[in-house]
């Protein structure tokens, strides 16, 4: 079923119930003891989030910062951090102003090492709303702790493209309960709206690139829309960050893959980063998109996964010496992480299995 931008706005007006809030609140920057609630409003004034371990909530937090979008008239994305939470615990929350609040939503906080958890990977949904809607319904049904997005969330960086291409009803519902993180693609780019609608860990020195831990997994989030080559600040950060992590599993997420046969092909700067840093720092898996097909490549023990179309037009595939499997299919993935295994299951938009990768330590 195809949802138009108009229908999205009508649904929002019927469901939110809170004056000046334009979209259902969603979650970013998950840790075992905190999460950030993002709320888009047509006013810059303070928004309150009520939250707690029961539907009565009982605790409150308020706007700490506001980012402006390019909408006309301008809209404001409020960042409301919830701190002091208990690890691996279900919480309820709602956002509002005065006596008007949004519907109640639920989420689970991040987990500590030794606790299994699940995440989803979705990339390159732009231009394919029906496929993307189907993928997000299935991603939500997988009940992940968090969602990872691989960029190209919308066809252009403008506000209207974000709202019609990415913030569609199934994704909005997903994001209300599943904290998500994005690595910017070459379509939304690292621009005003990307910076307004996404937020990394508050303690990070930069929002352009950062890292986080969840359970036994360390995730390095890189931005291929700015330099990643030797001598760049991002290269130095990747080197320091990965060598400083003691997590069992190490993953890197970025939009443009280093190793890729067909589509946009290889990226020499990412390959240099891989050989100079990833291979020397114990990285297990690199998640990417950009080329619109599925491809599993292995180089020097690292699994380079191109999981690159949750709606974007499919490309013809090719094979290189490092290619294990490649398919011209829409695709997305579910991953289960434990102290001894990392299992990745790749599906098409109908839920048909395409491939499985199981790593053990």
Give the per-residue pLDDT at 8.
38
Radius of gyration, alpha carbons of the chain: 19
**5-108 matches 117-360 in fold:** no
| DSSP symbol at 202 | T
Asked whether the beta carbons of 283 and 336 are under 8 A apart, the reply is: no
- pLDDT by position in tens, the chain (length 361): 333 333 333 334 334 556 689 999 999 999 999 999 999 999 999 999 999 999 999 999 999 999 999 999 999 999 999 999 999 999 999 999 888 899 999 999 999 999 999 999 999 999 999 999 999 999 999 999 999 999 999 999 999 999 999 999 999 999 999 999 999 999 999 999 999 999 999 889 999 999 999 999 999 999 999 999 999 999 999 999 999 999 999 999 999 999 999 999 999 999 999 999 999 999 999 999 999 999 999 999 999 999 999 999 999 999 999 999 999 999 999 999 999 999 999 999 999 999 999 999 9
Cα distances (Å, whole numbers) of residue 191 to 160, 165, 184, 225, 276: 14, 16, 9, 10, 29
Domain locations along the chain: 5-108, 117-360
Cα distances (Å, whole numbers) of residue 20 to 17, 39, 63, 100: 9, 10, 14, 10
Asked whether the beta carbons of 49 and 82 are under 8 A apart, the reply is: yes
User: Span 5-108: which CATH code?
Assistant: 2.60.40.380
CB atoms within 10 A of CB 195: 16
Return the CATH architecture of domain 117-360.
4-Layer Sandwich (3.60)
Element (H, E) at 123: none
d(CA 290, CA 306): 8
Give the per-residue pLDDT at 41.
96
d(CA 315, CA 81): 40
Give the per-residue pLDDT at 5.
33
């Amino acid at each position: 079923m195809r949802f138009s931008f108009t229908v999205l706005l009508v649904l929002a007006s019927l469901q939110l119930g809170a004056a000046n809030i334009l979209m259902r609140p969603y979650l970013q920057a998950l840790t075992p003891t905190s999460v950030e609630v993002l709320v888009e409003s047509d006013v810059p004034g303070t928004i309150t989030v009520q939250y707690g371990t029961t539907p009565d909530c009982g605790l409150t937090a308020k706007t700490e910062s506001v980012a402006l979008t390019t909408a006309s008239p301008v809209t404001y994305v409020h960042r409301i951090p919830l701190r002091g939470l208990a690890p691996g615990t279900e919480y309820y929350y709602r956002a509002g102003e005065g006596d008007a609040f949004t519907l109640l939503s639920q989420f689970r906080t991040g987990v500590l090492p030794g606790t299994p958890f699940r995440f989803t990977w979705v990339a390159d949904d732009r231009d394919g709303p029906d496929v993307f809607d189907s993928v997000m319904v299935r991603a939500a049904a997988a009940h992940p702790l968090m969602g990872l997005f691989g960029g190209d969330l919308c066809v252009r960086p403008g506000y209207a493209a974000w709202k019609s291409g990415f913030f569609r009803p199934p994704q909005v519902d997903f994001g209300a309960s599943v904290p998500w993180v994005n690595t910017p693609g070459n379509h939304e780019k690292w621009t005003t709206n990307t910076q307004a609608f996404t937020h990394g860990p508050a303690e990070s020195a930069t929002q352009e690139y950062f890292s986080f831990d969840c359970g036994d997994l360390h995730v390095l989030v890189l931005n291929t829309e700015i330099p990643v080559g030797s001598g760049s600040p991002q290269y130095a950060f990747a080197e320091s960050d990965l060598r400083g992590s003691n997590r069992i599993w190490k993953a890197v997420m970025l939009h443009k893959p280093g190793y890729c046969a067909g589509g946009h092909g290889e990226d020499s700067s990412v390959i240099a980063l891989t050989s100079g840093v990833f291979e020397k720092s114990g990285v297990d898996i690199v998640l990417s998109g950009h080329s619109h097909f599925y491809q599993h490549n292995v180089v020097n023990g690292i699994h380079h996964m191109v999981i690159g179309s949750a709606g974007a037009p499919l490309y013809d595939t090719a094979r290189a010496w490092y290619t294990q499997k490649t398919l011209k299919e829409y695709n997305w993935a579910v991953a289960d992480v434990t102290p001894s295994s990392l299992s990745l299951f790749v599906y098409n938009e109908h839920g048909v299995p395409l491939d499985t990768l199981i790593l053990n330590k």
